[in-house]
Amino acid sequence: MNKSLTKLALGAALLTSSSAALAADYVIDTKGAHAFVNFKIQHLGYSWLYGRFNTFSGDFSYDADKPNESKINVVIDTSSIDSNHAERDKHLRGDDFLNVDEHPKATFKSTDISFSDDTNGKVTGEFTLNGVTKTISFDIEKIGEGDDPWGGYRVGFLGHTQLALKDYNIDYNLGPASTHVDIELSIEGVRK
């Protein structure tokens, strides 16, 4: 191989390894409370009950040039459920609902992420709740990305999904209007 070809091959190898080294890995910003796992469910068909999980963690990878290679992992402490009512939260932690003594964590691990444009995508993955694992898919929206005031780099997404309680062995009768729970995942990540 002549010197020019060797230099070209070496340059291509360095460029490829530099791109790989620039893999955009993020930690979900729960310390700064810039990420949320919220839910709502109808109460008897008369109103909406809102709540959230206060303790969760996770990470994701995202590169705007290769968005379909993204991945996300989230772990939720189910005992951290907070519906702004202590007695109700105690019931939600019990055997009728989340059964947190036996299943203290809910997890989500993506298996596929595909974007239709720069902002909108769909995430598919394995979601485990109450000891049951199901494949779910939901739409996501990229909110934005860029430098933060503290010298870091951030990117944020919003996702929505709806889960049937019976799919996760939650069969407590809340009435016909309350068979599904809406989940909102608002994620802001800080680049590692």
DSSP code per residue over 154-168: EEEEEEEEEEEGGGG
CA-closest candidate to residue 39, choices 56, 54, 53:
53
Q: What is the pLDDT of residues 106-127, one digit of tens each?
A: 999 999 999 999 999 999 999 9
Residue 15's alpha-carbon distances to 9, 10, 69, 183, 186, in angstroms, are 10, 9, 19, 41, 34
Q: What is the pLDDT of residues 69-81, one digit of tens each?
A: 999 999 999 999 9
Res 107: pLDDT: 98
Contacts of 115 (CB under 8 A, 6+ apart): 67, 68, 121, 142
CA distance 92 to 184: 18
Give residue 42's pLDDT band: very low, low, confident or very high (50, 70, 90). Answer: very high
Give residue 12's pLDDT band: very low, low, confident or very high (50, 70, 90). Answer: very low
Residue 17 has pLDDT above 50, yes or no: no
Residue found under tokens 């990305």:
145
Give residue 191's pLDDT band: very low, low, confident or very high (50, 70, 90). Answer: very high
The chain-wide mean pLDDT, for the chain, equals: 90
Residue type, 106: A
CA distance 183 to 192: 27
Res 65: pLDDT: 94
